[in-house]
């Protein structure tokens, strides 16, 4: 078991990241929060020793992705209600507004997840490749195609250049 201080530190530092990543997968705020609780519970009960904070964060992201995939395979997913993006306010830490986030959420998962990790979580291409179990060139292709799809959508629907 982990100490109370370790748990509080991880919850304060990574809970937002976990919820946002889960949200980008499942597109439902309640499910994303439930997944975040599951991930943090696994962190609390797991006896895994981490080399450093980056290793710890990568583990949390990998567990989050696995929990999201498990959730998406569940029977109840067919009865879900998608997120109402008008509930979100403000911008992310990079100054990207919800209009872009909303359009990002509409992309296919194979583009959406690498773009989320790259732009919202500041992971490098090599780190994303390791987390997703893909080749770096594949991640680069996903990022390029995702940006192109996002650009086309933003120009067509919102008049952005």
- Mean pLDDT across the stretch 16-45? 93
* CA dist., res. 114 & res. 141, Å (int): 10
Residue ranges, comma separated, of all CATH 1.10.10.10 domains in the chain are 96-161
Lowest mean pLDDT among 10-14, 104-108, 133-137, 156-160: 156-160
- The CATH code of domain 96-161 reads 1.10.10.10
Pick the CATH number of 1-77 from 1.20.1070, 3.40.50, 1.10.1740, 1.10.3470: 1.10.1740
User: pLDDT tens digits, residue range 98-128?
Assistant: 567 778 888 898 999 999 888 888 889 999 9
Mean pLDDT across the chain, nearest whole number? 83
Q: How far apart are CA 86 and CA 98, in angstroms?
A: 8
More confident residue, 122 or 159: 122
34 sits in the region (left: phi over 0; alpha: psi -120 to 50; else beta) called: alpha
Q: What is the pTM of this model?
A: 0.61
């Amino acid at each position: 078991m982990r100490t109370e201080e370790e748990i509080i530190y991880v919850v304060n530092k990574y809970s937002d990241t976990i919820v946002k990543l889960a949200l980008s997968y499942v597109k439902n705020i309640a499910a994303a929060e439930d997944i975040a609780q599951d991930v943090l519970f696994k962190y609390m009960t797991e006896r895994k020793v981490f080399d450093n904070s980056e290793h710890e964060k990568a583990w949390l992201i990998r567990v989050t992705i696995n929990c999201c995939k498990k959730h998406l395979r569940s029977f109840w997913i067919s009865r879900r209600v998608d997120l109402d993006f008008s509930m979100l306010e403000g911008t992310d830490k990079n100054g990207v507004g919800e209009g872009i986030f909303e359009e990002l959420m509409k992309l296919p998962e194979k583009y959406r997840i690498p773009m989320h990790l790259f732009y919202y979580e500041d992971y490098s291409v090599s780190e994303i490749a390791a987390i997703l179990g893909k080749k770096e060139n594949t991640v680069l292709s996903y990022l390029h195609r995702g940006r192109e799809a996002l650009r086309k959508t933003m120009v067509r629907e919102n008049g952005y250049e």
